[in-house]
Amino acid sequence: MNEHAQIPDAHAAGAAAEAAGEGFDAGTLLIGHIANSDPHHPLIPLPVVFGIDLSVTKHVFMLWVVAALVFVTVTLLVRGYLKRGMTAPTGAMNALEFIVEYVRDSIARPNLGSKWLMAWTPLLLTLFIFILAANAIGLVPIFEVLGLLNHYVLHASPDSFLGTLLHGGSTITANFNVTAALATITFFAVIIAGSRAHGFVQHWLNLAPKGLPPLLYLLLVPLELLSMFVRPFALTMRLAANMTGGHLAILAFLSFVFIFTETFSTALAGIGVGLLFSVPVSTGIYALEIIVVLVQAYVFTLLSAVFIGMAIHAHH
Amino acid sequence: MGEAASFVPFAYVGAALGIGMAVIGAGLGIGRLAAASAEAIARQPAAAAQITGATNLPLFLLEGAAIIAEVFCLLIVLMK
């Protein structure tokens, strides 16, 4: 745990030494360590299709890395398990089985009921494992270590592939575009679930339950339509803001080292603040972040299951 | 109180007050949830798992509300 907190410390020390002439700009540093790379200087420039720039930026690259990692890990584990004859699982397969059973029994079954359980559990599992992996990989300071390597060994130019990858930002779920894509999946899953359970027209008619005074429909239907869009928006912002907030807090506390160094013009102040305050507090927040990573994956999956269940059981 | 053109400092005050109130609201709400669920489990320990499950969802919805408030306050500060 301590190495994770101290490595961004050391990297930021390198960056601050470079920027010593301009003073320490905490705001730019913090945002730079969480946000995507510059859209005008992408990692791999690709053509513009239908007005959408397909160029690969840092977060797109990390999306591919996370997806490949999850795909390879889960496929290898399950293939090995199937080849061994599907008896009691061992090792990492044990952990995967725990996750699958937890999502199926605690998240999917209470919300979907047994009839639609096997139809929607794969989607919920995919969401859970992908968000968990994306959140967790964001906690590992890959690009900060890369920055250290670059500063002392490689010296790549800021425009190269390596240069654009630098300065943090391996948390793809901190980007609200990524979480919006996941929430869009949930949005369409709810519509498809309701349509499969009740028929396409009846799913929309279920927005207004029978047996209410007519005046109430005037209020209820727009409210239901609005909530249909507000829910994915809330899913988006909840995940993105939770991930950003944790990293922002860690970086802010570590910035105190440089702010104090600058204010008192001696490195000793910075080191003192760092050892006594910044690094212990950042370590504590890192531990809290591990809990947040697990909880946010759980909440996204749980809410998706609840919304799908509400569409399926609309007639109560 | 200089020219009327410069309202930027008030944006910072607004954002700070906003996030403070959001945290107060979330704290009060989550505190009440926790108290109610602790009391319910004390009354009927056998239903502990169900009560925890029923508390989880409103807890995270409330936390989500506070986080969304934080996002908008951050937006005010960053976009001035």
Directed axis angle between helix A117-139 and helix A92-102, to 10°?
120
Q: Which residues of A are less than 8 Å from B57 in CB distance?
A: 302-303, 306
Q: Which of A118, A96, A98 is nearest to A108 (CA)?
A: A118
Number of domains in chain A: 1
Question: Which positions of chain A have pLDDT values less than 50?
Answer: 1-21
Residue B33: its pLDDT value, please? 94
Quick check: is B79 in a domain?
Answer: no
Q: Which of A108, A115, A82 is nearest to A96 (CA)?
A: A82
B50 interfacial to chain A (CB closer than 8 Å): no
Directed axis angle between helix A279-312 and helix A117-139, to 10°?
160
- How far does A153 lie from chain B, in Å, by closest CA? 35
Q: Which residues of A are less than 8 Å from B61 in CB distance?
A: 234, 303
Instruction: Read off the pLDDT of residues B21-62 as tens digits, 9 standing for 90 and up.
Output: 999 999 999 999 999 999 999 999 998 888 888 888 788 788
Quick check: is B62 in a domain?
Answer: yes
Quick check: is B70 in a domain?
Answer: yes
Residue A113: its pLDDT value, please? 87
Those residues of chain A whose CB sits closer than 8 Å to some CB in chain B are 31, 106, 110, 234, 237-238, 240-242, 245, 295, 299, 302-303, 306
- Structural domain containing residue B14: 8-74
Quick check: is B18 in a domain?
Answer: yes
CB contact under 8 A, B60 and A238: yes
Quick check: is B3 in a domain?
Answer: no
CATH number at residue B29: 1.20.20.10
B52 interfacial to chain A (CB closer than 8 Å): no
Number of domains in chain B: 1
Q: Which residues contact A311 (CB under 8 A, 6 or more apart)?
A: A190, A191, A193, A194, A197, A203, A206
CB contact under 8 A, A241 and B57: no
Interface test with A, best of B51, B68, B77 (most A CBs within 10 A): B68
Residue A208: its pLDDT value, please? 80
As a whole number of angstroms, the distance between CA A41 and CA A37 comes to 7
Q: Which residues of B are less than 8 Å from A106 in CB distance?
A: 53
Element (H, E) at A135: helix A117-139
- Structural domain containing residue A42: 2-312
Quick check: is B1 in a domain?
Answer: no
Instruction: Read off the pLDDT of residues A172-218 as tens digits, 9 standing for 90 and up.
Output: 999 999 999 999 999 999 999 999 988 888 888 888 877 778 888 88
Long-range CB contact pairs, A23-28, < 8 A, 24+: A23/A262, A24/A255, A24/A258, A24/A259, A24/A261, A24/A262, A26/A252, A26/A255, A26/A258, A26/A259
